[in-house]
Amino acid sequence: MSNMAEYPVEHRVSELFAAAKAVQKNAYAPYSHFPVGAAILTPSGRIHAGCNVENAAYPVGACAEAGAIAAMVAAGETAISVILTICDSIEVGTCCGGCRQRVREFATADTLIYACGPDGVRAVFTMEQLLPTSFGPENLNGFVS
Ligand SMILES: [Zn+2]
């Protein structure tokens, strides 16, 4: 994509975009017909991807971000440096509210969220922009034994 070079090389946006676009093709979205792909870059440099998986019992379906996070955790990693999502929306397609909280669980102070369309990056957000004054693991300090 032509606009990938605008972003810092360490964000590996081209690779994340390619990974998200590839997995988007495998999305199971027979009900919404809205395939989404997500790719996560971790501090170790690994990339984990996921797609949305819908279900005939609609609320049981899972977002692409949830799939990518599950793949990351299954691979033994628990920190997100960058997460990039791709969808075919005409508008900027950002993470849903639930996924903002899912990403927040594994976010670092520097985590960035790239929102892409088929043409490339449409917007970039910090965690604080997408989920201001959020609740995270540190809020449980002192309350979990
Ligand atoms: Zn979501």
Whole-model pTM? 0.94
For residue 1, tell me if it sits in a domain: no
Q: What would the two tokens of residue 24 be?
A: 């988007």
Distance of alpha carbon 32 from alpha carbon 30, whole angstroms: 6
> Could you tell me the distance, in angstroms and rounded to a whole number, from the CA of residue 44 to the centre of ligand 1?
24
* Cβ < 5 A residues, ion ligand 1: 63, 96, 99
pLDDT in tens, 100-129: 999 999 999 899 999 999 999 999 999 999
What CATH number does the domain containing 23 carry? 3.40.140.10
For residue 104, tell me if it sits in a domain: yes
β-sheet bridge partners, residue 39? 49, 84
> Could you tell me the distance, in angstroms and rounded to a whole number, from the CA of residue 62 to the centre of ligand 1?
7
> Could you tell me the distance, in angstroms and rounded to a whole number, from the CA of residue 58 to the centre of ligand 1?
13
β-sheet bridge partners, residue 86? 37, 116
> Could you tell me the distance, in angstroms and rounded to a whole number, from the CA of residue 129 to the centre of ligand 1?
16
Classify the C-alpha dihedral 90-84-69-48 as positive or negative.
positive
Walk across the sheet containing 120-126 and list its strands: 47-51, 37-41, 80-86, 107-117, 120-126
For residue 59, tell me if it sits in a domain: yes
Quick check: 95 and 112 in contact, CB under 8 A? no
pLDDT of residue 5: 86
* 135 three-class SS: coil
For residue 26, tell me if it sits in a domain: yes
For residue 86, tell me if it sits in a domain: yes
Catalytic residue, from 6, 54, 65, 91: name it. 65
> Could you tell me the distance, in angstroms and rounded to a whole number, from the CA of residue 96 to the centre of ligand 1?
4
Find tokens 């994340």 and name the residue.
Answer: 16
For residue 61, tell me if it sits in a domain: yes
Question: How many distinct structural domains can be found in the chain?
Answer: 1
pLDDT in tens, 6-62: 999 999 999 999 999 999 999 999 999 999 999 999 999 999 999 999 999 999 999
> Domain span at residue 30?
11-125
For residue 106, tell me if it sits in a domain: yes
Known active-site residue 54: no
